[in-house]
Every structure is written in C-alpha cells, then in structure tokens.
Structure 1
Amino acid sequence: MDEYQAVRPGDGSPPTPQHGARDYIRFAALGDSASCGVGDPAPDGWRGWARILADAIASDHYVSFCKLAVPGATVADVRRVQLPHALDHRPVLASLVVGLNDTFRSAWDPEQIRRDLLHCAGELARQGALVITVRFHDHTRVLGLPELLARPVRRRIQVLNEIYDEVHETYGVLRLDLAAHPAIYSRAVWATDRQHPSELGHRRLARLVGELLIQEGLTFSPPSLTCTGDPPSRRDVVRTLVADVAPWIARRVRDLAPWFVREVTRRTRGFLPGPTSGGPR
C-alpha cells in the first residue's frame, strides 16, 4: 500500500481530517497495474494516473492519498484485500478500475465478478465516497491479438462493461467511457508492452477523470499533459519485449488453451461429419 498526504504549497501541516469536508480530500485508488502506475516510472516507484490526479487536486486542497492498487490484481483480489483498507481510509473519492486481468484468464466467472464489483462499489458508496469507474475499450485492438483469440476476449470485455453499467445505475458512480476517446488507440498513450499506459497515457487518464470531478463541482487545476520522464531507449524496448511481453503471452496461452480447445470443439461439433454406415468400398 502506497499512502501519502499532500498539502497546499506554503501551508503547514494539514488540518484535522473531517470526513466529507470539501477542503480535505481522502482519495483511495483500488485496482490493478494501471492504477498502480505501471508504465509511468518515477524516482520513488510507479506513479500513474491516480497519483498524478491526487497531486493536481493537492494544488487546491489538502489530500490524503491511499494507493491500494497492485499489478496483476483481479476483481476478487480487490474485494478480499484492497476494499477493507480502502474503507479504513474513509475516502471522499475512490477509484474502482479493475477487471481486464479477469478477461484474460480461464477462471473467468462473470457472475462472481458482478457480485464482487457491486459489493465493492456499494460498500464505498454507503460510506459516503464518490466512486469512479470506467467502461473499457477494446484492449485486444491495443495488443494486436489475432482475431481467433481476440473475439472471445472482446466478448468478455463487453460483459465486464455491462457489469460496470449496472454499478453505475445502482450507485450513481462517476464513469469514464474509455472507448469514447479515439486517442485510447494511439500508440503514444501505451507503454512498450502495450499492456499498460505510457506516461502520456497515465496523464490523459488523470486529465479525463479530473475533468469529470471538476464537472461535479470540485475546484482545482486539471492535471498537466506535459510529460516529464525520458522516453524508453531501444535497449529498454527490447528488454521489455523479452522480459515482460513474451512471458505474459506464454502465460496467457497456457492458461487459455484448454478453454479455447473446449470452445472450438463446442462450436464445431454440429458441423463435423458423423460416422457413415457400412465399410469402405
């Protein structure tokens, strides 16, 4: 868990926290590697869109930021591990962005995912937090997956989005529709591995969420889109492809292969010729 307090420049220590007070913003970020900040390195570790947003809000408000997101987290992990810590933080804002990891796993269980996401959003909302969620883009397009593998994953992402639609309708959460922004498919907003946003991608996410919050009445300057980090060198690109991308693809193939074979068998069963009567002539 990465937690810090930010105060407005020139001020002393922050005031005694008052839950819901406009000038003291408690922000908890729940989710996976995207909210953890992978793809946006900083001297003290991964930064990412949630922390960029927290820093921008801190220019006009006292902020206590609790980053609970971890790489590889599934929806079940968020409910079991991250949610209790988030509730302890008593956030005024809580981002709940998770689920893509579930769509790439053979243990995919949409009913359980639905129960877990509704539970997480419900507990946060009941405590008074303004919950921020998303509708996901077609990430198979970003990864450049072959259509044979992309099609079933795309269907899963659609189911996940429908679950987030229900969360939105039930709890009135803020929702960022990533697919509504064509720039989401720009190469510049993705890191070398194409699995995580680049610094520019994280900054764009922070900016879009910030604009939603400003529309809700929170006053602050939106996050900057100006990148401060160095672009990856060719050696960094090669190292990422060898050390991260190739192993990830291998793991997903091993995990999804049995499911994929079952799907192909099920879909082709009615088209295969049955046994013929009599022997060869």
Structure 2
Amino acid sequence: MGDSLTEGVGDRVDGAWRGWAALLAQGLGEPRRPAEFRNFAVSGALTRDVAESQAPEVLAYAPDIASVVVGVNDTLRHTFDIHDLAVRLDKVCAALSARGTRLLTACLPDPGTMLALPAPLARPLARRQRAVNAVVHALSERYGAVHLHIADPAWVEDRSMWSADRLHPGERGHRAIARRFHELLAAEGLATGAPPGAEPEQPAPSRAAKAVWLATAGTGWVARRCTDLLPQLIGLAGAEVRHWARGTSTRLDHVAENALYSALASLSLDPPLARMGE
C-alpha cells in the first residue's frame, strides 16, 4: 500500500515499474511455495487515498504481510494536516493488525532535501516530513511493525541509490530497501527465500535519457505539484525568512511540534522524542 515509492517508480523492467515490494516478495517464499504478491500502491497517493481506497481492497485480500509506506505526497499539499494524517494511518494500521497482518513501515527523507531546495523552501517541507516520520515511528511501536529507517544522511547522500528525478530510488535503491526489509523479516522467520541481489540487472540510464526524463515527465511532475503547493510554499518560505531575520526561527519549530504532540495525544500515543530530529 502507498504511493509511487511502493508502486516501483524508478525501477522500470520490461516497460513497467517493479520496485522494492515486488523484489521483496520474491524472497519471502520458497521455490515450491512462492509468496503471492499484489501491489495496491498508486503514484501520487495521499494517506487519504490509502485509507479510503486502498485499505478496503487490501483488507478484502487478507494479506499475511502488508506494507504501509505513505506520507511524502501529503507534505507537498496545501491541505497538509498532521492530525488528520495520524488518524488515517492509525485506522489503517489498526484494521490490518486486528486481522493478524504483519505491518511493514518506513520513515522517509523529506523532498526538500532530496531536491536540494533553498533553505527557506526546504525547511517547511523538512518540518512536515519530520512530523510524518514521528507519527510513523509511534504507530510502528504501537502495532509492532517491522520498521525501516531510510531517512538517514548515509542513505540520502548516496546518489547511486536514486533515479534521475532525485525523489525516487533507482534500481539499486529499490534493491537496497527490499534487502533491508528481507533481513528484518528473515530474523523473525517471516522470509524463507533468498534475498534479492544488491547489484542492478538493468543498465543505468544515460545522461541523455535522464535529461529527456527531466524535460518531459519530470517537468510535468513538478508542474502538477506546484499548482497545488507553490502558493502556500511561497508563504511558508516568506515566514521562514522573516523569522530568520528576527532570530525567532525556533518559533516555527515549536508550532510544528505542538501540532504533532496534539495529534499523537489525540490517539493516546507518546511522542517518540528520540526521533524528533529526523
């Protein structure tokens, strides 16, 4: 379940997206008893889409293991609300856990860092993604999820892991995610097959191919999100600059933290303080 990351964007095989989830599924079962895999993730999905559209289908499918990785697209919308996001994710995780499904979750890097945006534009997005990650950590603890942390600098700064758009993993990155989840599941006896290989099987896209992608599909991606987010992001950037000039930037952090604490408190969740800086 989730968005383009789980759909497999960045790892194209035979004209279609594959991605980490499909790679992981190949190593969950054995040759004579392969795992049955279905991917419900859709590019651009928000937590609302996961809760309202994907979750009912997944619950009807009744999986033994289900990944719930979503939230980055929410940070790119003017409608971002950490309380609503937390409530939706909690309902999805609760419904799956109640039927015995083991959850896979992950915290993710913020898009501002990935795109190397100027600080006034990047900081609001980073603040939002930190809040999303804190919610995911808290829910992962509540429901005993297998959790993967891929927001650390070592992961983000390794450009060999990322595709031309700088937001989605390339084949190497998708393989790394699948291998790390496989390792965690194997330790619990939930993955009995071989882990996916670490090295890409497809040739890396040339510089020309990357340039073509950025000029076509990449431009369209940016345009679609700018239509929704850009007016508000400019306002957020203006607030960043004003507070920086006054030496009161910490006030924005406090506002975001208070909103996060309120959201977690409404779900009777304790803030994962050790993760607040991520």
3-state SS, counterpart of residue 94 of structure 1: strand
TM-score by length of 1: 0.80
Q: What are structure 2's unaligned runs of at least 5 residues? A: 247-278
Q: Residue 46 of structure 1 corresponds to which residue in structure 2?
A: 17
Higher helix share: 2
Q: Residue 131 of structure 2 corresponds to which residue in structure 1?
A: 159
Q: Is the 8 A contact 1:53 1:206 kept in 2?
A: yes
Instruction: Say how many residue pairs are matched.
Output: 243
Greater RCO (CA < 8 Å, at least 6 residues apart): 2
Q: What are structure 1's unaligned runs of at least 5 residues? A: 1-29, 273-281
Matched, 1:132 2:104: yes
Structure 1 residues 112-191: aligned runs within 5 Å: 112-180=84-152, 182-191=154-163
For 1:259, which of 225, 232, 235 is the aligned residue?
A: 232
How big is each residue's C-alpha offset from its partner over 1:210-230, in whole Å with a ceiling of 9 and x where there is no partner? 111011122332221121112
3-state SS, counterpart of residue 38 of structure 1: coil
Structure 1 residues 29-108: aligned runs within 5 Å: 30-43=1-14, 45-59=16-30, 61-108=33-80
Distance apart, 1:145 and its partner CA: 1.2
How big is each residue's C-alpha offset from its partner over 1:145-191, in whole Å with a ceiling of 9 and x where there is no partner? 11111000000001101111221122111110112471332111110
Higher strand share: 1
The percent of aligned pairs where both chains have the same amino acid is 36
Query: What is the CA RMSD across the aligned residues, in angstroms?
Result: 2.2
Deviates more, 1:169-178 or 1:118-127: 169-178
Q: Flag the 1:67–1:264 CA change in 2: closer, same or farther, 3 A.
A: closer
The 2-side partners of 1:256 and 1:158 are apart by: 18
| AA of the residue aligned to 1:237 | K
Q: Residue 217 of structure 2 corresponds to which residue in structure 1?
A: 244
Distance apart, 1:251 and its partner CA: 3.4
3-state SS, counterpart of residue 67 of structure 1: coil
Rg larger in structure: 1
TM-score by length of 2: 0.81
The 2-side partners of 1:205 and 1:83 are apart by: 22
Distance apart, 1:261 and its partner CA: 4.5
The 1-side partners of 2:110 and 2:76 are apart by: 13
